[in-house]
Structure 1
Amino acid sequence: MKHFKQPVRGLVGVRADASTDIKALIEEQGKTFEAFKAAHQKELDDLKKGMGDVVQSEQVERISTSVGELQAAIDAANTKIAAMSLSGTGPDAVKDAEYTEAFQAHFSKGQVQANLNKGADPEGGFLAPVEWDRTITDKLVEVSAMRSIASVQNISTAGFTKLFNLRGTGSGWVGEEEARPETSTPTFGSMVITPGEIYANPGATQGMLDDAAVDLESWLANEVQTEFAKQEGLAFVAGNGVNKPNGFLSYATGAANAGANPLGAIGVDPAAATTAVTEDELLDLIYGTPASYTNGARFVMNRTTLGKVRKLRDADGRQLWQPSSVAGQPSQLLAYPVTEMPDMPDMAANTTPIAFGNFARGYLIVDRTGVRVLRDPFTAKPKVLFYTTKRVGGAVVDPKAIRILQMDDGV
């Protein structure tokens, strides 16, 4: 039996070369997706004829995985472009050279200069320079997908209170000369978002710190970004609010925070199966979201779920999922962008693996201004520890902007 050649041998080279143009990634993915569609169609045709082939099915899975990996590389490149545009300046720009120099002297040798006082934190330690703080934030955008699609509010206080207009203003019809009695007035609700503290405590030898060739700022940014991004990403999706953000899944109807927002809970649409989804169920998510939110809406799911969704076809045999075709644009499902969110659950009984909506309007990330660094040369001699903290909160601020698909309970 003839099998399609799997055109993914060059994938490692494409992803490993940091200088590869995003257009080359898109072109490579386009070829791979065409091979996937052809192999998948052959698999479906063979199944209809009662000639299902395990080898053919495995090939479809391999090509589908390659399509997903290429799309992930394209998404990462797109996010870097977006992060640079949001920062407003290049990564090497220094906004406060004197403070940066003083911070670096403190960082490497523990020196305290006069210029360092402007970054002193009342809770201990010193705030990282503006350009270094931006470096960490950019890396979080690259790794934590929620930061690239949600709204972010910077605060300088211990918490943030969100107000809600619950409306309720009365009105009525009257004749030209009839009295106009007073009508009811609107009511307001509120919700407090309290940031939790996320930390990392990497250590370095004094010899490393004395080496002028070591880029200390980049080193620490690289050390903390993985832990910060991992913890943030999980919390924004499924956090329970205990010393961390409340994840958006916790605001679904029937979940722990269903009654936390004055506007109500996130709507949930049921799926008929435990490990599969249909086009109609995806359409229910789209059309269950008010039209005013769909401009800017997107699908959110993890890679495993996306691999299953990628195989869905419409009545005319066309794939519902389409890869990126232009630099800066994500892949699309039913004409809406798709954001791969690794912390979304897999398809299983009673899980919520797919969400749809306008996350910029639905979810708010609250950042306490500044990344705080406390230099500790005493606790772990001969190493110097850098206790690095950032306070982050998160909550659903408009539950109507998001809808969630819940799989059947399997009973």
Structure 2
Amino acid sequence: MTEAARAHAPEVKAVPDTVTAAFEDFMQAFEAFKEVNDRRLGEIEQKLSSDVVTRDKVERINRAMDDQKKVLDQLVLKKARPALGHGGEAGPEAAEHKAAFDAYMRRGEEAGLRELQAKAFSVGTATDGGYLVPSQMDGEIGRRVSVVSPMRALSTVRTVSVSVLKKPFATAGLSTGWVSETASRPQTNTPSLAELAFPTMELYAMPAATQALLDDAAVNIEEWIAGEVDIVFAEQEGDAFVRGDGTNKPKGFLAYTTVADASWSWGNLGYIATGAAGAFASSSPSDVLVNAVYALRAGHRQNATFMMNRKTQGEIRKFKDADGNYLWRPPATAAQPASLMGYPLAEAEEMPDIAANALSIAIGDFRAGYLVVDRAGVRILRDPYSAKPYVLFYTTKRVGGGVQNFEAIKLIKFAAS
């Protein structure tokens, strides 16, 4: 790469037209980043400090990589969205439900849905707060959310028909022991069980449309509703699964009591301190990442994923191992995540920035550690009266979540101890 090309590398390019072009731009930015960061590290070794121009250039390229990654993520998300109207429900009953739902959405005609749901002995009547959307649309919202929200994609997801899911968990197994051939066999202790409860909370959105839009036969009402709802649902869910306080929302894993990993006990999440308040340690800063990985048991470590926001990732991107290799590696393809020390890295903007005592990095087997509970069905209530001339669509779903295995997730705390 020429000096002229390097000088322009930090600048964010125009939005590419394809995923391939966006991925190529991202990889070119990473190569420029490595070259300038290597220069910065060389200056530190020679002069014990780096040139301010070099530091600024590293940060500009770092920010450019983040911007290009956002563009790439948006293009991958758009490509991942399946076309509506293909697959899903099939058969005459599905077509009848879809037609009745469309009539309700466009004109407020309830007779068709009342008849269908009466036949199915459904409790989803207007008196209960709306009608169930067709199962094809319900699935579409779920698929899009799973792409947008990293926690939903990484966690175990259970669909239930009740308001609270209760799950027993064995916190300790049977006691065992060695005995000689003729020795007595004392009774062993029974396993310890804990009951975990995961209530579902109501998540809602209320998009509005003019009657002219609803009268337009060319407008796909299901696609419009899904497009309005999926991103806002994903944002709210993602935030709750990470840092929700459990009051009228799921409880995020950062809301649980945290203790130093050496003092870990069931019901708490263990953390490893960086050794410096609000920063990585000045000497061997990446050691805390290694310590966090090996704080997990082997069974969880092999399925582990790092989780942090983009700013934290930008700091870690500068780290090298003893052999001079970067710990952070770009994705092999556009649809794959970046990796850190060989483990997948999930970007969650809900994770806190680096600050004193912040729990800015998590690593764990989230499928074993966190449970997302979906109550079956997304409901829509049509309201043509409250905001004339607009028609409101009160769309709700019930979601819960919480930690189900406290030893499967570890945190990194930016603190001295």
3-state SS of paired residue (2:386): coil
Q: Does 1:271 align with 2:268?
A: no
Q: Give runs of aligned pairs for residues 194-209 of structure 1, distance below 5 A.
A: 194-209=199-214
* Residues 208, 76 of structure 1: alpha-carbon distance in 2 compared, 3 angstrom cutoff: closer
State whether structure 2 residue 79 is matched by structure 1 residue 92: no
SS in structure 2 at match of 1:399: coil
Matched, 1:63 2:57: no
Q: 8 Å contact 2:19–2:72 — kept in the other structure?
A: no
**Structure 1 pair 71–139 and aligned structure 2 pair: CA distance change class (3 A):** same
Shift in Å, 1:168:
4.7
**Alignment partner, residue 155 of structure 1:** 160
Structure 2 residues not aligned, in runs of 5+: none
* 2:378 aligned residue: 371
Secondary structure (helix, strand or coil) at the match of 1:398 reads: coil
The residue aligned with 1:230 is 235
- How far does the alpha carbon of each residue in 1:162-219 deviate from its partner, in whole angstroms, 9 at most, with x for none? 1112345344444545554543322321111001111111221222111112221122
Q: Kindly provide the amino acid, as one letter, of the partner of residue 393 in structure 2.
A: F
For 1:91 and 1:361, the matched residues in 2 are separated by: 34
1:70 aligned counterpart, secondary structure: helix
Residue pair 1:199, 1:388 contacting (<8 A) in 2 also: yes
Alignment map for 1:168-183 (pairs within 5 Å): 168-177=173-182, 179-183=184-188
- For 1:347 and 1:43, how far apart are their aligned partners in 2? 22
The question of whether the paired residues in 1 share the 8 Å contact of 2:158 and 2:372 is answered with yes
Q: Give CA-to-partner distance per residue, 1:247-286, whole Å, 9 cap, x none.
A: 011224259xx99xx9432111011123333210000110
Pairing 1:218–2:223 present: yes
Q: For residue 308 of structure 1, what is the aligned residue in structure 2?
A: 315
- Distance, in Å, in 1 between the alignment partners of 2:254 and 2:184 is 50
Task: Report the 3-state secondary structure (helix = DSSP H, G, I; strand = E; otherwise coil) of the residue aligned with 2:258.
Answer: coil
Distance 2:389 2:29 in 1: 52
Tell me: CA distance 1:105–1:170, structure 2 relative to 1, closer, same or farther (3 Å).
same
The aligned counterpart of 2:99 is 101
Cα distance per residue 1:326-375 (max 9 Å; x no partner): 35421111111100100000000111000011111111110111111111
Shift in Å, 1:110: 0.8
Distance 2:50 2:193 in 1: 61
CA shift, 1:90, in A, is 7.3
Q: What are the superposed Cα offsets for residues 132-159 of structure 1, whole Å, 9 maximum, x if unpaired?
A: 1122112212322111111111111111
SS at match of 1:26: helix
Q: 1:281 to 1:167 in 2, by over 3 A?
A: closer
Query: Identity of counterpart residues, as a percentage?
Result: 40
Query: Could you say what secondary structure the match of 2:307 adopts?
Result: strand
Residues 5-404 of structure 1: matches in 2 within 5 Å?
Answer: 5-7=7-9, 11-14=13-16, 17=17, 20-22=18-20, 24-50=21-47, 52-75=50-73, 92-95=86-89, 96-112=94-110, 113=112, 114-115=115-116, 117=118, 118=120, 121=124, 123-177=128-182, 179-254=184-259, 263-277=266-280, 278-404=285-411
Give the alignment's TM-score, normalised by structure 1: 0.88
Relative to the length of structure 2, the TM-score reads 0.87
Name the stretch that deviates more: 27-36 or 368-377. 27-36
- Contact 1:206/1:384, CA 8 A, preserved across alignment: yes
Instruction: Please state whether the residue corresponding to 2:146 is helix, strand or coil.
Output: helix
* Whole-Å separation in 1 of the counterparts to 2:392 and 2:81: 29
Task: Quote the offset at 1:398 in angstroms.
Answer: 0.8
Q: In structure 2, what residue type is equivalent to 1:314?
A: D
Corresponding residue SS for 1:380 = coil
**Residue 353 and residue 328 in structure 1: after superposition, are their counterparts in 2 closer, same or farther (change >3 A)?**
same
The 8 Å contact of residues 362 and 400 in structure 1, kept in 2 or not, is answered as yes
User: Helix, strand or coil for the counterpart of 1:13?
Assistant: coil
The amino acid that maps onto 1:6 is H
Mapped to 2, the partners of 1:301 and 1:124 lie a distance apart of 38
Do 1:80 and 1:142's aligned partners in 2 also have CA atoms closer than 8 Å? Answer: no
Query: Structure 1 stretch 279-288 or stretch 38-47: which is displaced more?
Result: 38-47
Change (3 A) 1:133 1:386: same
CA gap of 1:77–1:356, structure 2 versus 1, over 3 A, is farther
SS of the aligned residue for 1:400 comes to coil
1:105-155: per-residue Cα shift (whole Å, max 9, x none)?
Answer: 101101121335446515221111111112211221232211111111111
Give me the whole-angstrom Cα distance separating, in 1, the residues matched to 2:348 and 2:312. Answer: 10
Q: Distance in 1 between matches of 2:177 and 2:305?
A: 39
Q: Distance in 1 between matches of 2:117 and 2:353?
A: 48
CA distance in 1, matches of 2:213, 2:23: 41
Deviation, structure 1 residue 98 = 1.5
Determine if contact 1:26/1:324 at 8 Å carries over to the other structure: no
Deviation digits for residues 273-304 of structure 1 (CA, Å, limit 9, x no counterpart) = 23333210000110111011122211100011
CA distance in 1, matches of 2:192, 2:32: 57
- CA-to-partner distance for each residue in 1:68-95, whole Å, 9 max, x for gaps? 33344455566677776xxxx9763251
Is the 2:12–2:64 Cα contact (8 Å) retained in structure 1? no
Mapped contact 1:102–1:116 kept (Cα < 8 A): no
Quickly say closer, same or farther: Cα 1:218–1:60, change in 2 above 3 A. same
Using the alignment, how far apart are the partners of 1:295 and 1:82 within structure 2? 27
